[in-house]
Amino acid sequence: MNLVFLGPPGSGKGTQAKRIAEKMNLLHLSTGDLLREAVKNGTALGKKAKKYMEAGELVPDELIVGIIEEKVASGELDNGYILDGFPRTVPQAEALKKMLKKNNSKLDKAILIDVADAEVINRLSSRAKIEGRADDADVSVVKNRLDVYKKQTQPIIDFYSGESILKKVNGLGNIDDITKRLHQAITGK
């Protein structure tokens, strides 16, 4: 099963992607985790990405598309995956479609975790305390990330809806219940 998880920052996307990946034996690939690791290790990618991440902006498409292209080409994704945090823009979604096609592959579903703005802001401020993520601690950076999500990422919802692979799941409530809802939306079971 080849899946993309979509949802605003603080929607629980990362937590749920991890749980579903484990349950369904899929590879979980989070571009946010990958970039944070690159920044921590001071790699060339990390050096380029740092300033965008600190400001709550997206890193340029070509930086991140190149990384996903390498993963597709390496065969790492051949046994099924959940992409978490990618694609984030319509050009990224188009690039993904093209590279998968080249590999005789495609996405099965795009899962949108649906959570209202007010809830998202609450969750991000508590995550800042728990996980110590710098981009969650600063209210103006959080607001910018939500703005960026609305302007640059939300249009992907129409893109996948147009491809008839979009599934919307209510992201409010108990973590276990949300995992069950997601599993049902993905497998029909």
Nearer Cβ to ligand AMP (45/135): 135
Q: Which residues contact 76 (CB under 8 A, 6 or more apart)?
A: 27
Smallest distance from the beta carbon of 38 to ligand AMP, in angstroms? 10
List beta partners, residue 4.
83, 110
Using the rule CB under 6 A, give the single segment among 38-46, 83-91, 165-173, 178-186 that binds ligand AMP: 83-91
Among residues 23, 71, 133, 181, the one annotated as catalytic is 133
> Is 47 an annotated catalytic residue?
no
Task: Write out the binding residues for ligand AMP, residues 139-178 only, by CB under 6 A.
Answer: 145
Place of tokens 């979604």: 93
Q: Which residues contact 114 (CB under 8 A, 6 or more apart)?
A: 7, 11, 168, 169, 170, 171
Nearer Cβ to ligand AMP (8/166): 8
CA 163 to chain centre: 18
Secondary structure (3-state) at 10: coil
> Is 181 an annotated catalytic residue?
no
Q: Is residue 9 a contact point for ligand AMP (CB under 6 A)?
A: yes
Residue 177: Cβ-neighbour burial (10 angstroms; 0-12, 13-18, 19+):
exposed
H helices present in 11-137, as ranges:
13-24, 31-40, 44-55, 61-74, 90-102, 117-131, 134-137
Among residues 47, 145, 150, 151, the one annotated as catalytic is 145
Nearer Cβ to ligand AMP (52/109): 52
Binding mask 33-72 for ligand AMP (x = CB under 6 A): --x----------------xx--xxxx----x--------
Annotated catalytic sites, by residue? 13, 88, 127, 133, 145
Which residues of the chain form contacts with ligand AMP (CB under 6 A)?
9, 31-32, 35, 52-53, 56-59, 64, 85-86, 88, 92, 135, 145
